[in-house]
Copies of this chain bind each other. A is one copy, B any other.
Amino acid sequence: MTVRATIREPVVAVTTDFKAEPPAGIVAIAASSSEGASVYELIREDIIEGRLAANERLVAADIARRHGTSTNPVREALQLLRGEGFVTFAPNRGARVRPIDQDFVRDIYEIGVLIEPALTRWFVGMATHEDITELERIQDLIEENNFADPHRHSELDTAFHTVMYQRHYNRHVAELWWKHREVLRAVSRRYNFTLARRATVMREHRELIGCVRAQDADRAGDVIARHVEGSGRHILEQMRAASAARAG
């Protein structure tokens, strides 16, 4: 939350500095107003981060008061979120938070398993020498960080995949990937990486680079499928563990 306040100052993008950004062409839905953080973003964050309980009612007037605006922008933000699937509406009964539960996460990562291999296969056929160098550079940074700074890992990991997908001709698929990626990133922020998962991530990234270098698109697709599948399962396991801990 407080981080947002500092965002206004011009961030000098050093080449080694990674900030998770949508692949070019995908307009971060972002603020429609001049304000740094739109109501839309605030509500969305609250939902994904779990600050709003599942199925909690979203009363327009309350939200407006809380964020110091009127109901009109709030209602528009809620409609936007509805279109994106984060909020459900019942006629004349207003909006509710769509639960970001295990089913939701499973649904999301399964879509990733279906589409990322296709994106990856395409990338293998389009990769330049510079792309491979960039992938290796990022992977070096990932290993250098070695999960010490979770947030940095998340940014680097996203950058790794963005290098592969950002130029894909199918902007819808790329956008689909990006939206799902954001959700999973937010959810996984709540948990830590197991040692097993850390090792697997490193191995699979290196294996992937090898496939790209060897121009083996099909194997790259398989690796990515395994990678995404494993990532999703890992998050699900963490969620299960956490809910089991809460329960008893």
Contacts and interface: CB of A to CB of B under 8 A. Distances in A.
Interface stretch (A130-138, A169-177, A191-199, A234-242): A169-177
A83 B79 contact: yes
Interface stretch (A7-15, A105-113, A152-160): A105-113
Contact of A118 (B77, B83, B114): B114
B107 A29 contact: no
- Sort chain A's interface into a size bin: 35 or more
Interface in A2-61: 27, 29, 31-34
Contacts of A171: 107
A230 B52 CA distance: 44
Given A32-B89, A33-B91, A77-B79, 14 more contacts: A27-B89, A29-B83, A72-B75, A79-B79, A79-B80, A83-B83, A83-B84, A104-B172, A106-B170, A107-B170, A107-B172, A107-B173, A108-B172, A110-B172
